[in-house]
Amino acid sequence: MEQQLGFTTAPDGVSICYATVGEGPPLVKAPNWLSHLEYDWRSPVWRHWWEALAQNHRLIRFDQRGNGLSDWNVEDLSFEARVSDLETVVDALGLETFALLGISQGGAAAAEYSIRHPERVSHLIIYGGFAVGSTLRSGTPEQLEEREALLTLMKLGWGREDPTYRQIFTSTFMPEATAEDMDAFNELQRVSASPENAFRTNVVTANIDVRDRLPLVAAPTLVLHSREELQVSFEWGRQVAALIPGARLVPLDSKNHILQENEPAWPVFISEVGKFLGVGEPGAQPAVLAMPLQPSSVSASTETGEEAEALSLISGMDEVALGRYSVVPGYAKFDEVTRNVLKDARQKIAEGMGQPTGKRENHLFWAAPGSGKTYFAVQTVASLPGNVRYHELNLAKLSEVELLDGLREMDGFSDPCLCLIDEVDAKPEEVWPCKVLLPYLDASVERNARFVFVMAGSSGSSIGEMKQRIASRPKGTDMLSRIPGGNEYQIPSMGVGDRVLVVLSQFLQAGREAGKEVQSVEKLGLYFVAATPRLANARQLREFAVRAVDRMPPGEDRIKYDHLFGAGDPENKTFWAQSSTVAGDLVNRYLAVRD
């Protein structure tokens, strides 16, 4: 098996080198970090990747501008140029429909391409990817200082024959690699790019932000990520999967950002990619989302991606302390990134309730239906010290006079007030909503009013799309200008982990209200909750939990699978018949739960 090299020219005149190898349906790989097509092909670091991926496909790779065999002397190394170069290579090869693979930083470019050309991307695979670069992630002062130090090292030592400087980067990419592989990666970095281009490439990568774009991905998506890797931690891969509708996340038991041929995670990666692309081995075991605890053995399955995620998640849980996932009392989020974003929002809201500062205290939320944005606002107020008022106005349900009256009511409050303007994106053709709101959004500046406004909507598929719709309405741009930088948030729809947390919380709450102590829940019952689409929001889960607790006999402290159903409910037998082959190991196994 030998690759064939070719060249094409980007619209700005930059020469891009690409390589093709193998036969079959096309699989295009977006470029990542630094590459050199010829050296990569011979390198023990990458050779097994390209040979395995080319077994059933025509694999297409290319060196991004500024490194490898593509032009080095280029002005534009931007993220936009990376996407444009991907378009150039695809068009040069006359590809109409193909699978697209993005590794590390290439994941963002691959996702962006799939959004712009949904008709061409049949499958999207992202390995080791991230939605937001390291510069834009919140970090400690020590982490930011460390990043600056690494950039300085890159400037000083990248091109030297002595690999000492590059070894620092190599050890984060492949901490478990052999000495031979580390030496090869050190040399690959040196021959791939000049110190200046390595530095510039790193800076652009560190400023990538596609969080607002990922919800627009329409292609079937598989996200794979090493659980313990150092270069791009697992939480950022989980964020990518959470933001892409219907994406399936496969955690891999590895510390390496670049998987090595001799580690157990490598055949799992190849098997999962093969099955996703329709060329997997018959009967291969699926790898699916897992908790930090190692999952128990579970039967092979043919369940959907979400059901598979639920199965592995629940099988790996033995005890849940709900406080670990709490944003505010009574409101939890399973995803660590979402949880911390909302904690930051709560902190900013709390600070806005203090003494007047003459600054605007306005926040904008895009929240998927059923994500619990109203409950978050209510519980945030409940968690604040002192007397804080909660006031809610739903723009979709109010006339101009009613909205104005509701806002004027706040003028009589002596205590600070959080005002939720729900469905702020409603009535898009009307002038009056923004006109009425604007004086109150300025109240903290113009009259030191202690008002914090939380404006929430769900139009479009992301906060970026919602803002575009708001901006297009009369005075919409003026209203958006009243949102301080950093006060925009996106709450994704409830995922499997969220539903598990909500129903566990509601089991405990319903038990307290009924005078019953709930200490554990049968795992098969939790699997039913997580795999049942109709139990999609907090209200439905609350009603479901109350009925289940009511069916617990006196003296029982466990919620069993059978407690979830009324006598003779056919759904009980139907679900068991459908799931017994994949979830039979969850019968009579219990998860302990506590606050």
Here the CATH number for the domain that contains residue 283 is 3.40.50.1820
DSSP 424-454: TT--TT-SHHHHHHHHHHTHHHHS---EEEE
46, pLDDT greater than 70: yes
Q: Are 45 and 35 in contact (CB under 8 A)?
A: no
| Band of residue 289 on the pLDDT scale cut at 50, 70, 90 | very low
In percent, the amount of the chain with pLDDT more than 70 equals 89
DSSP 38-56: HHHHH-TTTHHHHHHHTSS
577: in domain: yes
Whether residues 129 and 35 share a domain: the answer is yes
Please tell me the predicted confidence (pLDDT) of residue 304. Answer: 52
Please tell me the predicted confidence (pLDDT) of residue 446. Answer: 93
**Mean pLDDT value of segment 217-221:** 92
What is the sign of the dihedral through the CA atoms of 208, 214, 220 and 226? positive
162: in domain: no
| Band of residue 296 on the pLDDT scale cut at 50, 70, 90 | very low
pLDDT in tens, 437-464: 999 999 999 999 999 999 999 988 888 8
Strand partners for 61: 19
Whether residues 258 and 388 share a domain: the answer is no
Query: Residue 296 in 3-state DSSP?
Result: coil
Whether residues 521 and 456 share a domain: the answer is no
Whether residues 482 and 506 share a domain: the answer is no
If 0-12 CB within 10 Å is exposed, 13-18 middle and 19+ buried, where does residue 409 land? middle
Whether residues 468 and 358 share a domain: the answer is yes
Strand partners for 341: none
More confident residue, 405 or 195: 405
Please tell me the predicted confidence (pLDDT) of residue 291. Answer: 31
Whether residues 463 and 549 share a domain: the answer is no
Total number of domains constituting the chain: 3
Please tell me the predicted confidence (pLDDT) of residue 58. Answer: 96
Please tell me the predicted confidence (pLDDT) of residue 158. Answer: 59
| Band of residue 302 on the pLDDT scale cut at 50, 70, 90 | very low
Whether residues 470 and 370 share a domain: the answer is yes
Q: Are 363 and 453 in contact (CB under 8 A)?
A: yes
Whether residues 77 and 47 share a domain: the answer is yes
Amino acid at 88: T
Whether residues 506 and 472 share a domain: the answer is no
**Helix, strand, coil percent values for the chain (each to nearest 5):** 45, 15, 40
Please tell me the predicted confidence (pLDDT) of residue 475. Answer: 92
pLDDT in tens, 513-548: 999 999 999 999 999 998 887 887 777 888 999 999
295, pLDDT greater than 50: no
Please tell me the predicted confidence (pLDDT) of residue 320. Answer: 93
Please tell me the predicted confidence (pLDDT) of residue 541. Answer: 87
Q: Among 441, 464, 491, identify where a domain stops.
A: 491
Q: How far apart are CA 553 and CA 462, in angstroms?
A: 45
Which CATH number belongs to the domain containing residue 441 in this structure?
A: 3.40.50.300
273: in domain: yes
Please tell me the predicted confidence (pLDDT) of residue 312. Answer: 80
Q: Which structural domain, as residue segments, surrounds residue 527?
A: 319-324+495-594
Strands (E), 106-247: 121-127, 221-226
